[in-house]
Structure 1
Amino acid sequence: MYKVIIADDEYMIHRSLAKLVESSEHPFHVVGEAEDGAEALILLKEKPDLIITDICMPGLDGLAFIEKAKQVRPDVLFLVISGYGEFEYAQRALRLGVEDFLLKPVSPDKFQQTLTAIYHRLEKQKRKVMDYRQWFLSHEELLVQLADAIWRLDEKAVDDLLHKLVHLYEEEAADEIPFPTLNNILQEKITKELTNRGLPFPEPPIYRGLTTDADEKIKDTSSVLSQCRAYTQILLHAVKSSRNFGSRTHISKAIMYTKENLSDSTLSVQIAADIAGMSVTYFSRLFKEETSTSYVQYLTRLRMEKAKRLLDEQLLSASEICERVGYTDYPHFSKTFKKVYGIAPADYSKLHRSI
C-alpha cells in the first residue's frame, strides 16, 4: 500500500482527488488532506510515498512546500495539480523533480493514467531499495561496529570504520546506490542501534541539511567521507551530551557492579567502562571527576577495606580472603594490604587474635 497526502486550499477539490486516488486500481491510500503547505508539512509524519499538491495556496505555496518537504523526505514523489497554466510554474515544478504537472480541471482518465505511471515508478523504487538494503545487510556487522564505536565515543575507531565503509561503497555500490540513499539507510540503521543502547533522541533532524543537494556536493571519495563524518560527528555530540547529562548515573552503575563483584579477579577498568557504556579513556576521565580518584585506586581501596573486614571477623585465613577480594597472587595481595595498612594481612590477623 502506497500512502498519499493531498494539499489543496479548495475543500471540494482535495475531496474529489481523494476519491479518485482511492478508486485507483493500484494500491494507493490517502493518509492525510491539507488546505495549505504548512498543514501539509505536519502530515509528513505519516511518511507518504506520493504527495499531490496545488501551487496556489495561502501562506506556504505549493512550490515552497515541495522544497521544504524534500528536505525532510527526499524520496517522496510529487504530482502538481494547478489552475496556473503559465510555463514558468511548470518549469519550476519540473526543476524541483515533480513527477507530473496537471492543469485544472483534471480529467479523471488523465489523472488515473498519471497515477499508473507513478505506481510503476514507486514499484521500481521499491525494488531498488530492496537491492540497496541487501548491500547494507551484507555489511551489517560493520554498521553495528560503527554504532558501537560512536556509543563508546571512540573517535579513532569511528574514523577507521567510516574509511572502510566508504571504500566498500566506492568499490561495490557507488554506481547503483546514490549517496543520499546511502546516507538515509546509514542514518536509519545507526540511529536504531544507538536508540536501542539508550540514546534519548528519536532522530537527528539537524542531519537532514547535510543530505540536501547531496548529489551536487559529492564529487569523489573524499566528499562521501566528509559527508559521512559530518553525520557521525552529530551522533558523537548527541552521545556526549547524553553522557554529560547522565554521567552520574552511568558511573553509579559501574560503581554498583564493582562493589558486587569484588571477588572477580578479571574485574578491570575495561569491564567497568563497558558497564557504563563508555570508552576506557572517557570513562576514566568521568570516573575521576566524579570520585576524585582513578578506577584502579578505587577498586584497590574497596578490596582492601573488604579484606580488613574479613580479617576482623576471624572466620577465614588470609589466603582465603585473598581469593574473596579478587586476588589470584597472595604475595601481591599481601604487599598491597601492607602498603595500605602498614602491616601484612597474616600479621594483622595474628595481632587481631591476640587482642
Structure 2
Amino acid sequence: MARRVYLHIGAPKTGSTYVQNVLWSNRDRLAQTGILLPGSAVAQDQAMADLRAAPWRDPEVYWTWDRLAEKARQWPGDVIISNEGLGAATGEQAARAVTSLGAGEIHVIVVGRDLWRTFPSFWQQSVRARSGWRFEEFLRAVEEGRCEVFWENHTAVRMLRRWGDLVPAQRRHLVTVPAPGAPPEVLWHRFAGIVGIDDGRCELTVPAANPSLGAAEIELLRRVNRKLGDRYPLRTPYRRVVHRHLVDAVLKQRAGQQRFGIGLDRADWVLDLAEAQIKELRDYPCQIVGDLDDLRPAKLTPAGTPDAVDDDHLLDVAIETIVDLLGHAHTLDERAEQQPDDVLTRLKNRAAGGVKRRLRRVIRRDGR
C-alpha cells in the first residue's frame, strides 16, 4: 500500500504543463527517492477520462482509473498523480478516486491563478478543444451566470470543495500561481515543497509550458472549428490532426503574436470577483502555499480582443499559415522518404502491441 498519494488535480492553465514536464523528465530520479509517477503522462490522462466517464474517452485504451489506482496501491512509498482534468470530476467521481487509492494518506493539491489571466486562458483552451464561440460571447455568459462550467472546472474554490472535503484539512493544499513576471521555478518550488521533493533533486531545464496563441491565431482556429462540421470530433481525432498539424506545428510557432485579454472596461467586475474568491479561500480550511494576494489581479494593462481582429489581417495570417502548413507537410514527406524502414518497423510494432493488448484482455476476461 502506498504511504502517501498526492493528487494534483488542476486547475488547467495554472502552470500544470510546466510542473508535469519537470516531474516526468525526472521520473527515474524521483523513483530512486521513493516517489512513483505511475504509468505515463498519457496513461494518467486516459485514467482521468475513464474516471470522469468523459464522452470523448476512448473505451479501448489500456489505462483505466482502476488500473492506475492499482499501480499506486502496489508502491510502498509516495505516489504523485498529476492531471489538470481531474479537477472537473463530480463529487461522486472524486470520492471513488480517493477510496480506490487505499493509501495511508491522500493529499489533494489545487493550483489557483488570478481571474484576469484565467478568463482568457479558459476561453482559449475551449477553442483549442474545438469550440467556436467568440471571446465576448464567453465573457457575457460568465457575467450573466450562464457559464457554470468555468467556475466548476477552472477555479480553486469549487475544486477544493469537491475534492478537498474528502480529506482532512491538513492534507488539502492550495498553491497560488505567482504574479506575472515571476520565474517558473517559483511555482515548481511551491509544488515540490508539498510532495517532499528536495531542492536540487530535479533537473528544471525541461520543455517550456504550453504556450498561448495570439489574437489572430486563436481567431483563425476558432473560425476553422466552425467550418469543420462533423470532421475530427473530440477528442483523439481532433488532437491527432488539428492540434498536431495546425496548432502545434504552425500556429504556436508564429512569431510576433499579439496578446489579447479582457478590456479595462471590465476591470472593476474582475476585481470584485477576485476579492470574493480570495475571501472564500481564506475561510476554507486548507494549507496555502504562496500568498492569496497572488490571486488579486495585477498589471491590468489594455489588451486587444480576438473579436476585433481585422479581416484583412486575418486573411494575411491565414495565407501565411497555409504556406507554413505546406512546409510542414514537405518536412513530413522528407522524413518518410528518409526512414521508410523505420516507419514500417514502428507500424509493425504498433500493430503487434495492439494484438498483445487484445490478447491480454481476452486472457484476463477468460480467467475471471
Normalised to the residue count of structure 2, the TM-score between the two structures is 0.19
Structure holding more helix per residue: 1
Max Rg structure: 1
Q: Which has the higher contact order (CA 8 A, sep 6+)?
A: 2
